[in-house]
Chains A and B, each alone.
Chain A
């Protein structure tokens, strides 16, 4: 009964989504206020019914209703309750429902917080979001019904993929999807503006906070996914350039470009058509990611179960949405060219370069992601072109990006006085050059060109990012302090600097060693002694495991005891590696059990020493914090109906 209620709620949500699309769009066209009002009501209703469907599916999981096919395939009686909840979005059908739910939630937020917008504009935004809801609801109902019944019902379920039975992965998809789906709001704002043809700077101002929120969730989601891959996949890498990772990374890169481009459009009225194109692209890449992950077109460590009909459905939807948006763009954008100029040394120049480099980086990732597909069509196998290509290709645009980022922060809009500029950056530049040598050479004992570049760039960003907040802290009494958006920018860039130093140090000085180890034996890796004290069997709720107790010492002094496990999940029978990590801000010590070697009781053990690896995720966290600070800026809280004229204070504000 409950699953049928869920399915019926989805059908009702679909009909409300149709109302939510047709009435506001037609109403805005005819300037009919009553019709436009339907949008908000229908959006609220759609949210309620999608929420009911979501609760019904969750209920089916919690009550072990194995007469529902999706539950029978992805849950099990002995599954811990937390994972019964996260199993709701553990596979294709349920994660699609999560996507629909979050889209409805974003729409509700827009409907609720758009009272300051012109009525026709808000109506069009809600209408466009309704159209996206129709697409995804149809997708769920026609090809991926999560409530399909299994007759006769199963006695017990097939269990959730053990890789996904992890607290990190329980919240990773929701965070990531909030970001993915959030770009639909920027997209809807862009479409609404192009339909009305009324594209002034207010559009950028309205879009900015929404885009920043989506971006910050995407940042957190990607960081969490990377952290999960690090400890759960058992290889100790933090990024694999896997197709699915790339699918989330491309919208992030374009979203980052969009945030910066929106700043220029808001402050100076420039780059309008470019900003529109980025808003369309960010969401299109989210859709492309969905397509790549769910169509089975590309193999990946975490692709969903594949089905060509689903692939065709998403591809058709992608085509309608993106082609429609770009036709509108080709029609409207030519009238948007602005003749306002800017000097060569100005913040506009740096933001333009930022955009170009981020787009180049995205293009490289896209090429690398699709290359195996080209190869498959030409020859026939599923392979990956491998991290070496990405690692090198990706450095080309990112190194100049990182250097220019530091400069851009301290350059004024329109035109910047050169001598003052040079005075500001002289000290940070010298600090960066010195520390770029000192950090690798004195702390870690080795240097190379890439190491120097990485460390110097990181110090460069960190120092330059701290200048504005520190100046504000020690300002004279009575003068204006730093704005929230400028503070947000500084913090986000600081996060970028922490990230760069983490990546540089861990890739240069990380030690990975696969060794054979028997109980009682000790080996040395990276100056630490690892002694295997014992091996024992342990029993989990739905797995049995072999656990090693490994004591780590440095020069004889006790450091930590790690207990890595090799688990066999009882239902799916597959073996999983549970690494054990001694985490620290300065370094991680990581031990994972491999396989039993021969019959002498020896095991292959992967031991890793990862200096500063925490800075990678810390950096991402700080970046997201920067986004959070930026959206609390005062000007987003005031009513925004009056035009946002560019004032002198803007020169001080964000990038």
Chain B
């Protein structure tokens, strides 16, 4: 085949892809493949103390949210204030996964901005992130008392999203 056609083929493929991107309507409509499945098991050292580990079993028995964050992530800074409010309200235990970050910087971040997390797992190489299907930061998972992922939110949290997507799911789940 004519090798001078390859740029054309590549561009047509890219254009098709971009059209699909534009047609993709409601960005929040499609669920994550992890929803309704048991949360992936993990066991990681905590951020503040490398000798202590934290894992899925610590979260069992209660609704909990798992928030994936990093100091390089601008949107994480944006949602941090809300996480602090949420933690102060005592509505739900918040666990963090500090993802692809440096430990001293992450600790400093928490000291300076406040720490909303019961504990943060330190996932330096992003391996647990892969198990959890993390694409980027911030992401927040809602895990029910049986350890099932009920909901996953991509992007920064805010009070509106919290009420609409998280609280509603906790009420229906808590009724049984």
Is B truly associated with A? Answer: yes
On B, residues with C-beta under 8 Å from A are: 2, 4-5, 7-8, 11-12, 15, 17-22, 24, 26-33, 70, 72-75, 100, 108-109, 112-113, 133, 135-139, 153-155
CA distance A284 to B22 in the complex (A): 18
Q: Which of A295, A330, A375, A383 contacts B22 (CB 8 A)?
A: A295
What is the distance, in angstroms, from B73's C-beta to the closest C-beta of chain A? 6
Residues on A with C-beta less than 8 A from B32 are: 379-380
CA distance A330 to B153 in the complex (A): 45
Flag if B72 contacts A322 (CB, 8 Å): no
Flag if A291 contacts B18 (CB, 8 Å): yes
Residues on B with C-beta less than 8 A from A35 are: none
What is the distance, in angstroms, from B14's C-beta to the closest C-beta of chain A? 8
- List 30 A–B pairs whose Cβ atoms lie within 8 Å, in order of A's numbering: A273-B4, A315-B15, A315-B19, A315-B22, A323-B12, A323-B15, A327-B8, A330-B2, A334-B2, A370-B17, A372-B135, A377-B24, A380-B29, A380-B30, A380-B31, A380-B32, A380-B154, A381-B27, A383-B75, A383-B139, A383-B154, A385-B136, A386-B73, A386-B136, A386-B137, A514-B108, A514-B112, A514-B113, A515-B112, A516-B112
Flag if A379 contacts B18 (CB, 8 Å): no
What is the distance, in angstroms, from A509's C-beta to the closest C-beta of chain B? 15
Question: Which B residue's beta carbon lies closest to that of A513?
Answer: B108
Known interface pairs A301-B74, A380-B26; 17 further A-B residue pairs with C-beta atoms within 8 A, sorted by A's residue number: A240-B74, A297-B18, A311-B22, A315-B15, A315-B19, A315-B22, A323-B11, A329-B4, A330-B8, A372-B136, A380-B29, A382-B154, A383-B135, A384-B73, A384-B75, A387-B72, A514-B113
Flag if A383 contacts B137 (CB, 8 Å): yes
Residues on B with C-beta less than 8 A from A312 are: 22
CA distance A308 to B18 in the complex (A): 12
CA distance A383 to B109 in the complex (A): 21
Contact with B along A294-332 (1 / 0, CB 8 A): 010100010000001001100100110011001101100
Flag if B30 contacts A235 (CB, 8 Å): no
Flag if B27 contacts A382 (CB, 8 Å): yes
Q: Which of B5, B7, B70, B155 contacts A386 (CB 8 A)?
A: B70
Flag if A379 contacts B7 (CB, 8 Å): no
Flag if A514 contacts B109 (CB, 8 Å): yes
CA distance A604 to B135 in the complex (A): 30
CA distance A334 to B5 in the complex (A): 10
Flag if A380 contacts B27 (CB, 8 Å): yes
Kindly state whether residue A388 has any CB partner on chain B within 8 Å: yes
A381/B139 contact (C-beta < 8 A), A311-B22, A315-B18, A376-B27 known:
yes
CA distance A208 to B139 in the complex (A): 47
CA distance A513 to B135 in the complex (A): 28
